Amino acid sequence: MMDWLQTTLGVLHLAIGSDDFLKRAVEALVEIVELEAGYVILLRDDETWDAKPVAAYSKLKNTAKWVPSRTVLRGVVSKKIGIYTERQIDDGPSPSAAVYSEVSSAGKGAVVAAPLLDSQGAVIRVLYGECQVGDAGPDEIRLVLVKLLSSGVSAGLARQKKELEAAQEAARFEACFSKSLAAKLRTQPDMLKGKRATVTILFCDIRGYSGITTKPDPETSERWLHDVLGELSRCNRASRVQGMTKHLKGRVLLTGSARDALKSRYRTRRVVLTKVSGLEEPVSLFEAAAAGDGKAEFFAASEAALDALESALDAIEQESSIDSAAFSNAARQAGVLLGDHAGDGPLLLTLSRATDALIRDGQGCAKVWIPPGK
C-alpha cells in the first residue's frame, strides 16, 4: 500500500512541471493496478478517439494489433462512473473521481479506464489499462489510487495549458512592446485604460514599410519590426529626462549621446550624473542653449563649480575621506554665480549638494544624484 501511494504521489509531483509525466502516469497505472499495459488515449475535437496513444507502457512483447475497448471509452465519456463486474465501486458525485472498469468479452481481460479532464470538466483524454483474463483485477484500494492518479494528471494538464497560454500572451505583448513594458502591462493591465495626462509624444513612420515587408518571409519581417520597436522604446528614456526638468529647473536637457551628436551647434553645460526612473545605468545630463545667446561664459563658470564638487566627491569614493576645501570651493563658486543668476537650477543643486556634504561631514555623498521621491 505504501509503495503504491509513493508511486502515485511521485507522478503527481511530476505533473506540476515534467514533460514526460503522461508516460510516468501510465507506468504508475500498470504498477499500481498490476496490469500488463497502460495507455493515455486522446479524444479528438470531433469526439472520436485517436488510434495512436499519446503515451504507452506495456509488459507485453507484441502490441502492434492492440485496440482499446470502445465500450470502456464510451462509458468513460458518457457515464463518468466507476463500475466493476463483481461489485459496485464508489461512483461519487464528482466526474473527476470517476473510474470505469469492466471485464471485456472480447478477450482483453480486465480493463480499467479513468477520465482526464480539462478545467471545464470535459473528458479530453483517458488513462487506460488492461490485464489478461483470469487475473484478479483491481480491487477498491487500487481503484481509489487510480482515481487519485487521474485527478492529479488532469490537474497537471490544466496547469500546463495555463502556462502555455501565459507564454503565448507574453510573446504577443513582446511583439508590440519592449520586454520591460510588456512585463508591466501583464501585471498592471490598467495601464492600457484611458486617462488624462500631459505627455510628450514621438510620432514615427517606417518609410517604405510596405515595399520592405513584401520581400522577406513573415518570420523575418516580424523579427525586424520587433527590433525597430525595441529601438524606438529607448525614447520612454527621453520621457524620463524630460521629467527631470522640474527638478533641475532647466528648459532643455540632453543626454550625453544627444549632446555629442549636436557637437558645436548649441552651447551646453554639464549638469549632473543621475538616476532616472526605469533605467539601471546612471545618465549624464546636460543643459542646452542656442548658440550666440551669450551664455558661453556663464556655462563655463557654472560647470567649473560642478567640477569642484565632483572632485570632492571623487575623494570620498576613492579615499573615504572628505575634502572640505574642495566642497567649500564648489559652494563658494555656485553662490557667487547665483548672485547674478538667481534661481538657476544646476547652480542651486551644486550649492545644495556641497553644503550638505559639509554639514554631514561627507556621509552618504555620492557622484550619482538621486532626485527627490525616486
Do 281 and 149 sit in the same domain of this protein?
no
Residues 117, 255, single domain; the answer is no
Domain count, the chain: 3
Closest CA to 240 of 85, 371, 77, 64: 371
Q: Indicate whether 328 belongs to any domain.
A: yes
Residue 64's domain comprises 2-169
Q: What is the pLDDT of residue 105?
A: 41
pLDDT tens-digit profile of 249-288? Answer: 887 888 888 888 776 667 888 889 988 776 778 888 988 8
Q: What is the mean pLDDT of residues 130-140?
A: 60
Q: Is 129 helix (H, G, I), strand (E, B) or coil?
A: strand
Residue 315 and residue 284 share a domain: yes
Residue where one domain finishes, among candidates 150, 169, 188:
169
Cell numbers 550638505 label which residue? Answer: 356
- Interior/surface letters 173-206, b for 16+ CB within 10 angstroms, e for the rest: bbeebbeebbeebeeeeeeeeeeeeeeeeeeeee
Mean pLDDT, the chain, rounded, equals 75
Q: How confident is the model at residue 133 (pLDDT cuts 50, 70, 90)?
A: low
The span from the CA of 160 to the CA of 162, in Å, is 5
Question: Is residue 180 included in any domain, yes or no?
Answer: no
pLDDT at 14: 56
CA-CA distance, 301 to 55, in Å (whole number)? 78
Q: pLDDT tens for residues 45-102?
A: 766 777 788 888 888 766 666 777 777 777 777 766 544 332 233 333 334 344 555 5
Same domain, 141 and 289: no
- Same domain, yes or no, for 6 and 155? yes
Whether residue 164 is found in the same domain as residue 263: no
Instruction: Clarify whether residues 250 and 364 are in a common domain.
Output: yes
- Mean pLDDT over 103-127 rounds to 71
pLDDT of residue 129: 80
Q: Is residue 38 part of a domain?
A: yes
Q: What is the average pLDDT across 154-159? A: 76
Does pLDDT of 333 surpass 80?
yes
Are 286 and 261 spatial neighbours (Cβ–Cβ below 8 Å)? no
Which residue would you say has higher pLDDT here, 83 or 226?
226
Residue 222 inside a domain? The answer is: yes
Q: Which residue has the higher pLDDT, 12 or 60?
A: 60
Same domain, 141 and 57: yes
Q: Would residue 189 count as lying in a domain?
A: no
Q: The domain spanning residue 70 has which CATH number?
A: 3.30.450.40
> Residue 47 is which amino acid?
E
Same domain for 68 and 214? Answer: no
Nearest to 256 by CA among 228, 278, 276, 232: 276
Model confidence, pTM: 0.41
- Rounded CA Rg of the chain: 36
Q: Are 180 and 236 in contact (CB under 8 A)?
A: no
H-helix segments, the chain: 2-14, 21-33, 70-78, 140-176, 179-187, 209-213, 218-233, 238-243, 245-248, 256-262, 296-319, 324-340, 345-359
CA atoms within 13 A on the CB side of 145: 24
The whole-angstrom separation of Cα 43 and Cα 116 is: 10
Please check whether residues 216 and 288 belong to one and the same domain.
no
Residue 320 has pLDDT above 80, yes or no: no
pLDDT digits (tens, 9 = 90+) for 348-369: 999 998 999 899 888 888 888 8
- CA distances, 164 to each of 17, 122, 139, 180, 189 (Å): 12, 19, 37, 20, 20
Order of all β-strands in the sheet with 253-255: 253-255, 283-290, 266-274, 368-369
Predicted local confidence at residue 373, as pLDDT:
66
